[in-house]
């Protein structure tokens, strides 16, 4: 997000490959599950809260959705516009 704000379109070294956090949780003895659709969240949360031990819910979201209110595309466009105004 910060590279896009400072260097729009020239982001390097930030592509992440996340592990399967739900599988990692299960491997450590915790409850773990993955949620990919909004409607899956509440049932997953209820199952997690019902546990007597640790629980992890791995929420999968699009990489474009960098924050809850902005996308990478919006951040990049704002940075390009700001740079054009400075020029």
Compute the average pLDDT of residues 19-42: 97
Confidence of residue 75 (pLDDT cuts 50, 70, 90): confident
Structure tokens at 46: 């209820």
pLDDT at 9 over 80: no
Residue 30, pLDDT score:
98
Give pTM, 2 decimals. Answer: 0.67
33-54 residue pLDDT tens: 999 999 999 999 999 999 999 9
């Amino acid at each position: 997000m910060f590279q896009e704000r400072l260097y729009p379109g020239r982001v390097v070294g930030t592509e992440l490959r996340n592990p399967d956090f739900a599988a990692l949780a299960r491997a450590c003895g915790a409850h773990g599950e993955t949620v990919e659709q909004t409607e899956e969240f509440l049932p997953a949360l209820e199952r997690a809260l019902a546990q007597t031990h640790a629980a992890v819910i791995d929420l999968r979201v699009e990489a474009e959705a960098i924050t809850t209110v902005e996308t990478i595309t919006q951040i990049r466009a704002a940075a390009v516009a700001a740079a054009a105004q400075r020029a």
